[in-house]
């Protein structure tokens, strides 16, 4: 990287990825500056971030929250232009001041802002896997057409990126790649008796053994839907069919993913489970910077173990495989139904073990070709949520 200061817009700055990004930025004030931040409704956290990082812009999805933030910033004497609503968040994603955008808005809400960053030709640090799950073909076409640079932030995809040969964009066959292996911890219920899953609570589902994450993604890890979404994301990021993408459970979360080559070599990326590692890698790429992550001491590890995923225990993973193979609007329906079911589970309205059944019911209703416009994607998403709402009424 050149000596020029990199200017970063952080979408979803109050979430776990956003906070970790700002932590890495703060460690290197000579290299990075946060020039724009966005959040949904957490006024307190975004206010503190604005006071600390002094961005030029801040956006909040909810207009009332934006008004409250603007009032507090003015009272504190902090100069910052506050934007509101979806258009405000999209504007932050494409401000001319930023050359890099951390796309860390969770769920379908992150699709349009992330696409705005791509269309602005930015370096996009992609932590929003749903953008590729919902609109993979549209998204990747926009990346190529607008000359954006796409760097993956999910620890698994970032690990694969680090293990791939240079020039892999010309096709993985060019580099002799046989397959990629996404690792998964197995979450908090990897060894829990399956019958016990009917009574697990939201707090239990969110108690990930290795990673500190938001509640929605923690539940997705517990069902392994998160890994299924990552398989779909990997398909688009690396241009591989489902048959060349495998999942392996690795409870220690030390190996973050692997690439297997035709000559029998397997390259793996290792590190402590801390999202600041892939964030720092993408911020500095192709350089390396200190991330505040503890060094990995291999001498303190008793063992590294691996096992195949049990699709009876983790039916959401099998549903994601099915959605990728089915194509069309199926991945959109998968994501929308899962978001609806997880939200209802966290509210106490549906049992944990029924999340997969809700998703499967919605998937069975989906037919047709993939939408070829963003409006078509949005319509397919709305229709899947409508159907999911009908299914969830059974649990009312």
Q: Which two tokens stand for residue 33?
A: 């500056």
- pLDDT above 90 covers a percentage of the chain that reads 86
Region 70-74: mean pLDDT is 97
C-alpha–C-alpha distance, residues 17 and 384, integer Å: 27
Give the architecture-level CATH label for domain 327-396: Orthogonal Bundle (1.10)
Structure-token match 């503890």, residue found: 294
Rounded to the nearest integer, the mean pLDDT of the chain is 93
6 pLDDT more than 50: yes
Q: Flag the least confident range among 125-134, 209-218, 332-341, 386-395.
A: 209-218
Q: Decide if pLDDT at 159 tops 90.
A: yes
Residue 187 phi/psi, 5-degree rounding, is 65, -165
CA 155 to the chain's CA centroid: 9
What pLDDT is attached to residue 302? Answer: 81
pTM attached to this predicted model: 0.91
Using the predicted structure, report yes or no on whether residue 126 has a pLDDT greater than 80. yes
Written as six digits, the tokens of 161 are 């990126």
pLDDT of residue 208: 80
How crowded is the C-beta side of 349, counted as CA atoms within 13 Å?
Answer: 14
- Which residues pair with residue 307 across a beta bridge? 249
Pairing of strands 266-270, 255-261: antiparallel
Q: What contacts 85, CB < 8 A, 6 or more positions away? A: 61, 63, 66
Q: 10 Å Cβ neighbour count for 177?
A: 22
- pLDDT for 167 beyond 80: no
Determine the Cα–Cα distance for residues 156 and 231; give it in Å rounded to an integer: 10
Helix axes 225-238, 330-346, angle to 10 degrees: 150
Q: Note the pLDDT of residue 1.
A: 38
**Amino acid 311: pLDDT:** 95
What tokens were used for 155?
């620890």
Q: How far is CA 127 from CA 66, 155, 166, 283, 321, in A?
A: 24, 9, 22, 13, 21
Look up the CATH architecture of domain 6-152: 3-Layer(aba) Sandwich (3.40)
The per-residue DSSP string of 219-282 comes to HHHHHTHHHHHHHHHHHHHHT--GGGEEEEE-TT--EEEEEEETTS-EEEEE--S-THHHHHHH
Write down the pLDDT at residue 174.
Answer: 64
Separation CA 6–CA 387 (nearest Å): 44
Least confident of 2-6, 80-84, 93-97, 216-220: 2-6
Give the mean pLDDT of 18-44. Answer: 97
Please give the Cα distance from 169 to 147 (Å, whole number): 13
| β-strands 177-184, 255-261 pairing | antiparallel
H-helix or E-strand containing 371? none
Domain extent listing, the chain = 6-152, 167-273+294-318, 327-396
Mean pLDDT within 316-327: 96
Q: Is the pLDDT of residue 17 over 50?
A: yes
Nearest to 274 by CA among 295, 243, 246: 295
**pLDDT tens figures, 181-207:** 999 999 999 999 999 999 999 999 998
pLDDT score for 3: 54
pLDDT at 172 over 80: no
pLDDT at 213 over 80: no
Produce one character per residue of 303-313: b if its CB has 16 or more CB atoms within 10 Å, e if not: eeeeeebeeeb
Token pair in block for residue 287: 């350089």
Q: How confident is the model at residue 169 (pLDDT cuts 50, 70, 90)?
A: low
pLDDT band at 2 (very low <50, low <70, confident <90, very high): very low
């Amino acid at each position: 990287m050149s000596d020029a200061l990199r200017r970063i817009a952080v979408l979803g700055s109050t979430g776990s990825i956003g906070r970790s990004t700002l932590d890495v930025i703060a460690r290197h004030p000579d290299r990075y500056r946060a020039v724009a931040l966005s959040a949904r409704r957490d006024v307190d956290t975004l206010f503190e971030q604005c006071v600390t990082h002094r961005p030029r812009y801040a956006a909040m999805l909810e207009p009332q929250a934006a008004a409250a933030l603007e009032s507090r910033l003015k009272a504190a004497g902090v100069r910052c232009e506050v934007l509101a609503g979806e258009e405000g968040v999209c504007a932050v994603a494409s401000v001319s001041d930023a050359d890099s955008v951390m796309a860390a808005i969770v769920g379908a809400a992150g699709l349009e802002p992330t696409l705005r960053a791509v269309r602005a030709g930015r370096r996009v640090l992609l932590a929003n896997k749903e953008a590729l799950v919902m609109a993979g073909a549209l998204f990747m076409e926009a990346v190529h057409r607008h000359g954006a640079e796409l760097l993956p932030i999910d620890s698994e995809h970032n690990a694969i990126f680090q293990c791939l040969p240079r020039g892999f964009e010309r096709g993985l066959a060019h580099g002799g790649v046989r397959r990629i292996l996404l690792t998964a911890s197995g979450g908090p219920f990897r060894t829990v008796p399956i019958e016990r899953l009917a009574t697990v609570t939201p707090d239990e589902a969110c108690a990930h053994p290795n990673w500190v994450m938001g509640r929605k993604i923690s539940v997705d890890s517990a069902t392994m839907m998160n890994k299924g979404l990552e398989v779909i994301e990997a398909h688009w990021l690396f241009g591989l069919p489902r048959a060349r993408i495998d999942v392996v459970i690795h409870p220690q979360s030390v190996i973050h993913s692997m690439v297997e080559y035709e000559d029998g070599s397997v390259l793996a990326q290792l590190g402590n489970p801390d999202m600041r590692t892939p964030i720092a890698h993408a911020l500095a790429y192709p350089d390396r910077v200190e991330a505040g992550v503890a060094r990995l001491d291999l001498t303190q590890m008793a063992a590294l173990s691996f096992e195949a995923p049990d699709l009876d225990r983790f039916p959401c993973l099998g549903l994601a495989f099915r959605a990728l193979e089915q194509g069309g609007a199926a991945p959109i329906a998968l994501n929308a139904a899962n978001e609806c079911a997880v939200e209802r589970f966290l509210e106490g309205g549906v049992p944990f073990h029924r999340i997969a059944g809700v998703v499967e019911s919605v998937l069975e209703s989906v037919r047709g070709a993939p939408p070829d416009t963003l409006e078509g994607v949005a319509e397919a998403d709305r229709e899947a949520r409508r159907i999911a709402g009908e299914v969830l009424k059974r649990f009312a």
